[in-house]
Amino acid sequence: MYYHYPVALRLKGKVCLVVGGGQVAYRKVLSLLECGTKVKLVSPQLIEELRQLVEKGKVIYFQRKFTEKDLDGVFLVIGATDDRQVNSRIGELAQKRNLLVNIVDQPEDCNFIVPAIHRTGALTIAITTEGKSPALAGKIRRELAKYYPEVYGLALDWLGEIRSFVQTHLSDQRSRRKILISLASDLVELLKKGQIHQALERVQLSLADIPESEKFIKELMSKNKEWLEMRDYSEDHQNR
């Protein structure tokens, strides 16, 4: 048995075609827009949510049935109509052009499948069952969402900035690695408990011997002012 190759695509600025005008197409359009794509939408009719995106200029809309010419200049294709024959034709024509194509609920007509996704900030966890059970993939995604809440996204933002800082200001690779591995564990645990001030103190302690660390901590606090104020408000009410 051969498996799908897991990959994260950089789609920013790419033209992606979505064929369909219902809820499934709407979800696909939203996920593509999150990736910075230029979405081309083809369908005779649209649900209200898609129509609003068109009115806001978020997508380029063609109010008609799919034609092969719609594939011109496209990088990726998603077929999401309620007609299996139309979807199959989209898949066949797209693959003849060596385009990336996903046909919803018809894995035999695809050359890639879309995994179930849990995303918080820069953390993305993808689950696939090789097309065997999207329902199970969805169940696993919901379970993962409980274990990896919003604070993981915040922790990743911090860790990304800390990594850039130590790479610039600390030449010893072993020392850099030690700091980053230690903080990756400690920050998540502190933030999960809502201890954002303690998390900042932990960062400050880890970077204390590095030049410019004090300035870096102040910048980090400034960027996370909203989180700090929310935590101060919460602690104030708990102590009343």
Question: Across the chain, where does the E strand assignment appear?
Answer: 15-19, 38-42, 59-62, 76-79, 100-103, 116-120, 123-127
| Per-residue pLDDT tens over the stretch 103-150 | 998 989 999 999 999 998 889 999 999 888 989 999 999 999 998 988
Side chain identity at 88, as an amino acid letter? S
Lowest mean pLDDT among 70-74, 155-159, 179-183, 232-236: 232-236
Confidence label for 24 from pLDDT (cuts 50, 70 and 90): very high
pTM strictly above 0.85: no
Segments of the chain assigned to CATH 3.40.50.720: 15-114
Instruction: List, in sequence order, every residue forming a beta bridge with 61; answer none if it has no partner.
Output: 41
List the structure tokens of 171: 């030449």
Tell whether the model's pLDDT for residue 163 goes beyond 90.
yes
CATH 3.40.50.720 fits 15-114, yes or no: yes
More confident position, 188 or 80: 80
Q: In what order do the strands lie in the sheet with 38-42?
A: 59-62, 38-42, 15-19, 76-79, 100-103
Confidence label for 238 from pLDDT (cuts 50, 70 and 90): very low
| Per-residue pLDDT tens over the stretch 222-233 | 877 766 665 543
